[in-house]
Amino acid sequence: MNDDKDIFKKIRELPPEMNIEEVKGLITGLTAAPLPQNHWFPNITLRNILMITLPTTVVFSTLLMLFPVKEQEKIAVVENPTPIIKELVVDTPPQNQSIQSVTRPIKKVEKPKRSSIVGKFKIDTLRDIKRMHPILKIPRAVLVLDIEPLVDHTAQKKDSVANLNVQIGKNCELFQGNISRFSMYLKTYLLEDGLYKLKDGKLRISFFNSKIVINRRLIPEKLQEKYAIFFAKNQIIPCPVFIIEITKKYIAAGKITLNGFKGRVEGSITLNDLNKIKIEDIQPIGTIRKKRNVEDFHSLVLRGDTEVHIKDGELPSVWLELANIEEEAVITSVDQSVLTIDAMSLGHGQNATVRVFIEAPIYRSIIVEDMAKVVSKRAIMAEDLSIIVRHQAEAKLEIDAEEVTIDVISGDLVVFGRAGQQIITGRPPLHQGSFDNSRLKVKAQ
């Protein structure tokens, strides 16, 4: 075999396979020659088509398999003719269909059918909401629920609601109006008054002492009348167990009963969430102070689970400080100059507290009963004072009196101050110490 250098040398020495004349002949005939073969059209072959389409199909199929299209994305989005609604989803709205007395509707609410959802509104500005009137005339499917309880309600909740229902539950009718229209108007007013912001999300309206509570906060007094008229126009009676809850997903209006929520719902909601709402959850956060107008009095009868603070004052007055309890739950009445304070007849929740602040120029008799507690921060001026303690009541009083009669049947009494004459009667009490300028502790056996 020859070396490669020799082979290269031999190749170089070889004459070209075509001489220049042949090439010139080719060049002369080039004008009539067809287009070169690298034109794009002949390159489209079945092989090229398959090479492009097959990988594309495989890639898209894999993507669809890995990232399936969500059900919500398949819902047709219908543009609303009016510019107010940015997004309106309409799925077979049943015209004027009202389902009443639905038995065991829990499953329907847990998994609401798309057909029950009539519209989803996305409102951009307050001005847009005002234009909503024509839209609100869209017929809607309304589901009236008579809900069986899903959760085991605690005895505490029953106690808290039961008495309220006895007293005022009869007047708490179900909301009969157009719930969507009502909620839209309400939102508009609340936004205007700065009582609600769109970013808040949930809007819970309830009543406390006939006053309107938004998200557990009492709205200012100057706006109460405005909203009271609005609610009256919509045939909503202020009721302590009535609740309206508006979120992006649903609107619920009804009342809290022993068996849970009872009312109307539009939209998608888990009933357990509504049934879990307690009466304490709709009452305003914190305490309220209110003055009671009473006639002149010189004697006190204190009953119920109350904490009473008494002191001397120029004019008789009674202030209530209530927390998590209706104002009506505390009774203040004067009969023959005897002020009776009773907070026992209406049971209230565990967190409910009642504090009463009493001022009077003179005290003649103080009767403390039940679970009441009475305290005096300063010495009570009196000529002839009678103190009676019964049941599980407690009293801690500072007295400056000429004559004091103490009758402790049961309960605890601590008295100190000055007394010209002291008479201790009743069942054999346990005396500790004396009363003159020292502490007298009386504890009934």
Partner 1 sequence: MNQRQKEFTELYEKCHEAFLRYCSALAYGRLEVQDLVQDVLLSAYTHFDAIQKKEDLLHYLIRAARNRAISIRRRKHFQTEILEHQKERLVAQGLSLEMALDVQLLYWCLDQLPEKQGDALLLFEISGFSIKEIAHIQKSKENAVKTRLSRARQKLKELMAQKPNVHSTLGILGTLKTITL
Selected from 8, 61, 86, 351, the binder of partner 1 by CB under 8 A is 8
Helix H or strand E segment including 339: strand 338-342
Q: Are 430 and 442 in contact (CB under 8 A)?
A: yes
* Closest distance of CB 50 from partner 1, Å: 17
Under 8 Å CB-to-CB from 423, ≥6 apart: which residues? 403, 404, 405, 406
Q: Are 381 and 359 in contact (CB under 8 A)?
A: no
Give dist(CA 284, CA 212) in Å, integer.
9
Cβ-based neighbour number of residue 84 at 10 Å: 21
Give yes or no for residue 155 binding partner 1 (CB under 8 A). Answer: no
Give yes or no for residue 15 binding partner 1 (CB under 8 A). Answer: yes
Q: By C-beta, is 8 or 60 nearer to partner 1?
A: 8
In angstroms, how far apart are the furthest CA atoms of the chain?
A: 154
Helix H or strand E segment including 73: helix 71-74
DSSP 183-237: HHHHHHHHHHTTS--GGG--EEEEEETTEEEETTEEPPHHHHHHHHHHHHHTT--
* Closest distance of CB 7 from partner 1, Å: 5
Binding mask 249-288 for partner 1 (x = CB under 8 A): ----------------------------------------
Give yes or no for residue 72 binding partner 1 (CB under 8 A). Answer: no
Scanning residues 401 to 440, which ones bind partner 1 (CB under 8 A)? Answer: none
Q: By C-beta, is 39 or 111 nearer to partner 1?
A: 39
Helix H or strand E segment including 266: strand 260-267
Scanning 22-30, 261-269, 304-312, 401-409 for contacts with partner 1 by CB under 8 A, the matching segment is 22-30
Where do we find the tokens 């909401």? 129
* Closest distance of CB 54 from partner 1, Å: 20
Give yes or no for residue 24 binding partner 1 (CB under 8 A). Answer: yes
* Closest distance of CB 56 from partner 1, Å: 23
Give yes or no for residue 42 binding partner 1 (CB under 8 A). Answer: no
Give dist(CA 238, CA 257) in Å, integer.
16
Give yes or no for residue 50 binding partner 1 (CB under 8 A). Answer: no
* Closest distance of CB 45 from partner 1, Å: 12
DSSP 370-433: TT-EEEESSPEEEEEEEEEE-TT-EEEEEEEEEEEEEEESSSEEEEEEEEEEEEEESS-EEEES
Under 8 Å CB-to-CB from 160, ≥6 apart: which residues? 278, 279, 280, 347, 348, 349, 350
* Closest distance of CB 9 from partner 1, Å: 9
Scanning 28-36, 101-109, 256-264, 290-298 for contacts with partner 1 by CB under 8 A, the matching segment is 28-36
Q: By C-beta, is 29 or 194 nearer to partner 1?
A: 29
Helix H or strand E segment including 239: none
Selected from 2, 72, 100, 445, the binder of partner 1 by CB under 8 A is 2
* Closest distance of CB 69 from partner 1, Å: 41
Scanning 2-10, 178-186, 234-242, 329-337 for contacts with partner 1 by CB under 8 A, the matching segment is 2-10
Give yes or no for residue 51 binding partner 1 (CB under 8 A). Answer: no
- Residues lying near partner 1 in the complex (CB under 8 A): 1-2, 4, 7-8, 10-12, 14-18, 20, 22-24, 26-28, 30-31, 33, 35-38
